[in-house]
C-alpha cells in the first residue's frame, strides 16, 4: 500500500475518537502499517547462503571431510605416481580365412563320381579320401604305366648283361651302345607316365601296389584332402560326371585366421610388422595377435593403409567374415596418473578425493588420456598426494550430505 491508502485505513479505525486526538492517532496507525509493509517486502527476497548450493563446492576452498568410522574402514588410498598410459588406436576390422589354410579340391582327370567318402561339415585329416572317381583315361594311363615298367625292366636286364659280355669282349661295342639306348628310352617313357599318375594324386605306395599286381580298384581315381580342416563346400554327388578342374570340395582350417583393418596413413606410420595388437570380438574375450602386414600402397579411394593380423584361433571363437575391433597401442612417456576408480563427478565436475592429515578433501582435476585402467592427471598436485581409489562412492555421499545439511541449517 501507498501512504495515502494507509492513512484512509487509519482514519476509519479512529472514526469514534474525538477530533483533537484523531489526527495524532491516525498518523501513528499509518506509521505502523508502513513499518509492517516494509518488513514484508524485504522478506520476499531472502539472500541465499553462499554455501547452500553444491555449485559453490568448485569455487570455494576444499571442505575437509570427517567420514564416520564405518566409511573410513572401506577407504584405500594410493599416491599419485608417474605411469605410462598407452595411446590407443582403435579401428573396425573383419575376420578372414588364412589363405594358407584353404584348399579347393578339383579333379585332375575326366570321369564319373562313384563314391563319396565325406559330406558337408565333416572334419577331415590331411590325406583323407574325399571321393572316388572312375575314369577310362586313368585306366589307359595305368595300362601304359605297367607296360612301360615291364619294358624298362627288360631293357635294363638286357643292358646289364651286355655290359658283362662286353667286359669279356664277347659282344661288340655297338651292341652295348644299342642296348644302353633302348634301356634309357624305355626308362624315360616309364618315368614320364609315373609322373603323370603322381600328379593326379596317386601315391608312391599306390604305384608300388600296381606294380605288384594288387590293383583291383586301380580304375578309381581317389580325391584326397591336402590339409586337415572342415569341409565347407561339397559340389559332388554320386554318378556326377566331372572334367579336369571341376571344383568338388573346399576344406578350410580356421585354427588360424587373418584379421584385416584400415588405418589412416598418419596412424599407420606409428606401427611396424611385429607389433602386437588386440582383437576385440563382440561379446568375446580380447585376443592378442602380431601385426604381420602393412600395405605398401594406400587405398585409392579411402587413402588408408590396409593392415593384417595373424590370429591363433584354436578354439574357433573367431568366425571368418565376422566384424571385430582391432586395437594398437603407441608407447608414451610416463605421466602423473591415478586409477580409473579414483575419478568421480561432483556437481558435473571431475575430481578425486585426497587424504589429508586430519581428513579428506575433494579436488577438481583436469584429466588427459585414459587407458589400461589409468587416467592421466594434468592438474598440479602436491608430491605424494594420496588419492582415494576404493570407497570413493562413500566419500561422495558424505560430501553431498554435509552440503545439504549446511544449506538446510541456514
Choice among 313-317, 350-354, 378-382 with the minimum mean pLDDT: 378-382
Cα–Cα–Cα angle for 290, 284, 101, rounded to 5 degrees: 50
> Could you tell me the pLDDT band of residue 53, with boundaries at 50, 70 and 90?
very low
Percent of the chain with pLDDT over 90: 48
Predicted local distance difference test score (pLDDT) of residue 407 = 58
The mean predicted confidence, pLDDT, of the chain is: 83
For residue 404, pLDDT over 90 is answered with no
Angstrom distance (rounded) from CA 395 to CA 393: 6
Residue 197, class by beta-carbon neighbours within 10 Å (0-12 exposed, 13-18 middle, 19+ buried)?
Answer: buried
The pTM of the full predicted model, rounded to 2 decimals, is 0.60
Predicted local distance difference test score (pLDDT) of residue 199 = 81
> Could you tell me the pLDDT band of residue 57, with boundaries at 50, 70 and 90?
very low
Helix (H, G, I), strand (E, B) or coil at 67: coil
> Could you tell me the pLDDT band of residue 219, with boundaries at 50, 70 and 90?
low
DSSP assignment of 78-97 equals EE-EEE---EEEEEEEEEEE
Strands (E), 273-322: 276-281, 287-294, 304-312
Q: Which three cell numbers stand for residue 338?
A: 591415478
Residue pLDDT, tens place only, 355-400 = 988 899 999 999 888 877 888 898 877 767 899 999 999 888 888 8
**Cβ(255)–Cβ(246) below 8 Å:** no
Angstrom distance (rounded) from CA 322 to CA 324: 6
Length of the chain: 410
Choice among 45-59, 105-119, 123-137, 244-258 with the minimum mean pLDDT: 45-59
Residue pLDDT, tens place only, 2-44 = 444 544 444 554 554 554 455 555 555 554 444 444 444 444 4
Predicted local distance difference test score (pLDDT) of residue 298 = 96
> Rounded to 5 degrees, what are φ and ψ at 200?
-80, -10
Amino acid at each position: 500500500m501507498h501512504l495515502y491508502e494507509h492513512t484512509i485505513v487509519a482514519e476509519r479505525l479512529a472514526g469514534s475518537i474525538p477530533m483533537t486526538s484523531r489526527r495524532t492517532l491516525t498518523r501513528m496507525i499509518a506509521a505502523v502499517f508502513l513499518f509492517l509493509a516494509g518488513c514484508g517486502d524485504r522478506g520476499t527476497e531472502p539472500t541465499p547462503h553462499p554455501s547452500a548450493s553444491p555449485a559453490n563446492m568448485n569455487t570455494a576452498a576444499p571442505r575437509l571431510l570427517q567420514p564416520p568410522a564405518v566409511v573410513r574402514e572401506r577407504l584405500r588410498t594410493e599416491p599419485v605416481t608417474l605411469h605410462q598410459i598407452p595411446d590407443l588406436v582403435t579401428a573396425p576390422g573383419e575376420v578372414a580365412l588364412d589363405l594358407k589354410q584353404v584348399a579347393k579340391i578339383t579333379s585332375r582327370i575326366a570321369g564319373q563320381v562313384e563314391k563319396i567318402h565325406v559330406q558337408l561339415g565333416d572334419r577331415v585329416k590331411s590325406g583323407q579320401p574325399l571321393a572316388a572317381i572312375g575314369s577310362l583315361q586313368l585306366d589307359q594311363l595305368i595300362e601304359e604305366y605297367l607296360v612301360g615298367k615291364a619294358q624298362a625292366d627288360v631293357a635294363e636286364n638286357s643292358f646289364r648283361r651286355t655290359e658283362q659280355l662286353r667286359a669279356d669282349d664277347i659282344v661288340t661295342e655297338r651292341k652295348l651302345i644299342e642296348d644302353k639306348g633302348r634301356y634309357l628310352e624305355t626308362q624315360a617313357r616309364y618315368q614320364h607316365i609315373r609322373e603323370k599318375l603322381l600328379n593326379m594324386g596317386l601315391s608312391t605306395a599306390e604305384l608300388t601296389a600296381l606294380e605288384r599286381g594288387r590293383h583291383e580298384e586301380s580304375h578309381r581315381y581317389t580325391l584326397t584332402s591336402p590339409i586337415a580342416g572342415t569341409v565347407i563346400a561339397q559340389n559332388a554327388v554320386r554318378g556326377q560326371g566331372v572334367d579336369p578342374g571341376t571344383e568338388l570340395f573346399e576344406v578350410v582350417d580356421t585354427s588360424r585366421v587373418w584379421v584385416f583393418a584400415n588405418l589412416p596413413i598418419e596412424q599407420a606410420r606409428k606401427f611396424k610388422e611385429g607389433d602386437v595388437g588386440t582383437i576385440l570380438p563382440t561379446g568375446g574375450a580380447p585376443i592378442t595377435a602380431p601385426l604381420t602386414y602393412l600395405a605398401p600402397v594406400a587405398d585409392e579411394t579411402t587413402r588408408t593403409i590396409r593392415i593384417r593380423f595373424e590370429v591363433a584361433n584354436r578354439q574357433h571363437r573367431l568366425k571368418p567374415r565376422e566384424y571385430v575391433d582391432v586395437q594398437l597401442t603407441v608407447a608414451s612417456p610416463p605421466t602423473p596418473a591415478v586409477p580409473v576408480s579414483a575419478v568421480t563427478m561432483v556437481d558435473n565436475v571431475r575430481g578425486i578425493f585426497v587424504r589429508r592429515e586430519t581428513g579428506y578433501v575433494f579436488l577438481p582435476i583436469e584429466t588427459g588420456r585414459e587407458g589400461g585402467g589409468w587416467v592421466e592427471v594434468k592438474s598440479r598436485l602436491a608430491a605424494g598426494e594420496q588419492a582415494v581409489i576404493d570407497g570413493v562412492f562413500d566419500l561422495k555421499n558424505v560430501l553431498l550430505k554435509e552440503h545439504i545439511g549446511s544449506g538446510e541449517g541456514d
